[in-house]
Structures are given as C-alpha cells and as structure tokens.
Amino acid sequence: MGTGRRSLITVAVTVVCAVTVLAAPGTAFASPTPSPTPSSTAAPVTNKDLEAVRKKLDRLYHDAAVATDAYNLAEEKAEEQSTELVSLAKKIVKGQKKLDDLKERAGAAAAAQYRSGGLPDEARLMLSDDPQEFLDGAGRVIQGERATKGLLGEMTRTQEDLELYAKDASDRWEKLESNRKAKAKAKKKIKKQIAAAEKLESELEAEEKERLAELERQAAQQAQTQWLDSGILDEINGKASAQGKEAVAYATAQLGKPYEWGAEGPDTFDCSGLTSQAWASAGRGIPRTSQEQWKQLKRIDIKDMRPGDLVIYNDDASHVGMYVGDGAIIHAPRPGRVVTLAGAGSMPILAVVRPDA
C-alpha cells in the first residue's frame, strides 16, 4: 500500500475517533495531520498500523453496542406503554358506558321521587285510609332516596376514575412519544457508528483484513490466557440448573447465525437478544438489554458461575454472553460477525448474573 493510501487510513481513523469522542467523555484523540503528498514508493501497512485500526474499530462497535442497548430499551418501554394505553382506552370506554347507565338510572329515580312527592308526609298520613300502607310507602320512599344518593355517589366516583384514566393515558402517550424519539436518535447513532467502522475496514486490502482478524484473535487469546492463568477455572465447577441447560441448548443451536443490532431471532441476533431469547425458551423472562440484565438480575461471584449464567462485559455493561462451561461463552459479537463460542475472559468482565436465581 502506498504512503498516500496508508495516510488516508490514518486520517480516516482519526476522523472516526472524532465522531466517537462525543459518546465517550474523557477520551481525547490528536487532531488529524495533513496528508503527505502521495509517493510512488510503496510502504506496507505495519502491524502497528493495523493494531491502531483494531482499537478504533473496537471503539466504534462498542459505541454502536451502547446505542443498540438504548434502542432496545426504548423499544421495550414503547411496547409496554402501548399496551398500557390500550388497557386504559378499554377502561375509559367501559367507564363511560357505566357512567351513562348510572345517569339514566339516577334520572329515572329522581323522576319517580318527583311523581310521588307533593303533600307533606303529615297530610298524606291524615288522608290515608290505611296508615300502615302509608308507613310502608314512606319506607320505600326513604329507601329510594338512599338508593338515589348511592347512585349519585357512584356517578361521582366513576367520573373521577374516568378523569384519572384520561390523565394516565396522556402521561403514557407523552412517554411513548419520548421513547419513540429516543429510538430514532439511537438508531441514527448506531447506523453512523457502523457505517464509519465499515468504511474504515473497506480501506484495507484482503491480506490486511486477514492480518487484522489475526490481531483480533491474538488479543482475545491473550486476555483469555491471562484470565485462565489466574487459576479461576479451577474454582468454577457449578452445574447447570434444568432451566440453565435449556437456555444453553437454545444458545448453542444459534451458533453461526449473523449478528444484527436490535434482533431477537430467529435468524439474526444482537448480544442481549440472544441471551434474553435463550432464557425465554427456558420459560424465564429476563430484561431485554445487557444493561438491564446487569441491573436487575442477581449478581454471582465468578467462581460460583454455572452454565446458563450471563457474563456482563465492559464498565458500561454494553455486552453480554452466556457461560456454557469450561471457561467459554456463546455470544453474538458485533456487526459482520456470527454467533460464536469465545473465551469467557477474552473481554473485560464486569459481573456475572443469574437469571434463575
């Protein structure tokens, strides 16, 4: 590769870093330097150059994963709010029908009382041929008045319920719109990060891409070896629960399927889409995103983990894989990759969580 194209890659990497710096507070990169005048002398891309590319790609795909989690969470909340809105709408319709019926009954009761009114009770008693009949009638009138008061009270309560439902529906609608906007923003960011990464990779020749892939494997292997050298695997001997075995079986059956952000199968997955669907297949619903899985599920010491447990990665819980035993996980890595087997220690472990604790 000539120095001209090599410098183009360097500039592309720097520009891409500038794009990601907003999403990574505290991370700073040097300003791009002017491209040197192209030279006819070929200058090979060194492993050092490719290592820089690898790190920038990791940053881009990491930021895309964070945005994917934000998208998935917004989508999940939007679905919940849509369901709640439908439920509230049904309550409003039912409440309005009830209110109309109560009004009709109250009107009929008021008309009946009006027709039975007129003379004072004392006069009606004196004019009555049968005092007992009068007293019985008076009792019915009192009962009717009480019933009317009861109807009016129920009408008031029903009206208050309707007003509350309407307010709740308005609040849910505002939240739904907010989450729709959050989804759109996250989607835009995901596409931007992935496009930048793909453009960066497209600058490489086939041989350079192979070397880059090898550097990725070496970095993962080095991290895994360091993790295993700590002796941690000697302490991990937990047996999978019945549900855990089902979840592992599901995840294993997805090996080789492509990664796709926001996907929950059956043909493509993102990292948390794979783990959430694996546990759903085992009859255990868990949060959709890796960050919520980390927040809501029970934390387990690494030495106590067993097949089926979820391993959460990176300081921001932006990635997740399923532990399957022997120091390995199954996970959906990133765009351009497939669901695969990897070392549990090949990435920075934040925590281990157990869905069926």
> Whose CA is closest to 248, among 314, 311, 301, 304?
311
* Residue 331 appears among annotated catalytic residues: yes
- How far CA 275 is from CA of 269, 299, 354, in Å, comes to 9, 16, 11
Given 257, 319, 334, 354, the catalytic residue: 319
Given 189, 288, 331, 334, the catalytic residue: 331
- Report the distance separating Cα 323 and Cα 308, nearest Å: 6
Given 45, 78, 271, 352, the catalytic residue: 271
Structure tokens at 18: 């500038």
Helix (H) or strand (E) holding 154: helix 131-202
* Residue 319 appears among annotated catalytic residues: yes
Helix (H) or strand (E) holding 324: strand 319-325
> Whose CA is closest to 51, among 271, 227, 279, 216?
216
Structure tokens at 71: 């998208």
- Report the distance separating Cα 270 and Cα 356, nearest Å: 22
> Whose CA is closest to 152, among 115, 194, 103, 195?
103
Asked whether the beta carbons of 282 and 300 are under 8 A apart, the reply is no
Tell me which DSSP letter residue 147 carries.
H
The DSSP secondary structure of 165-234, one letter per residue, reads HHHHHHHHHHHHHHHHHHHHHHHHHHHHHHHHHHHHHHTS-HHHHHHHHHHHHHHHHHHHHHHHHTTHHH
User: Which residues are part of the catalytic machinery?
Assistant: 271, 319, 331
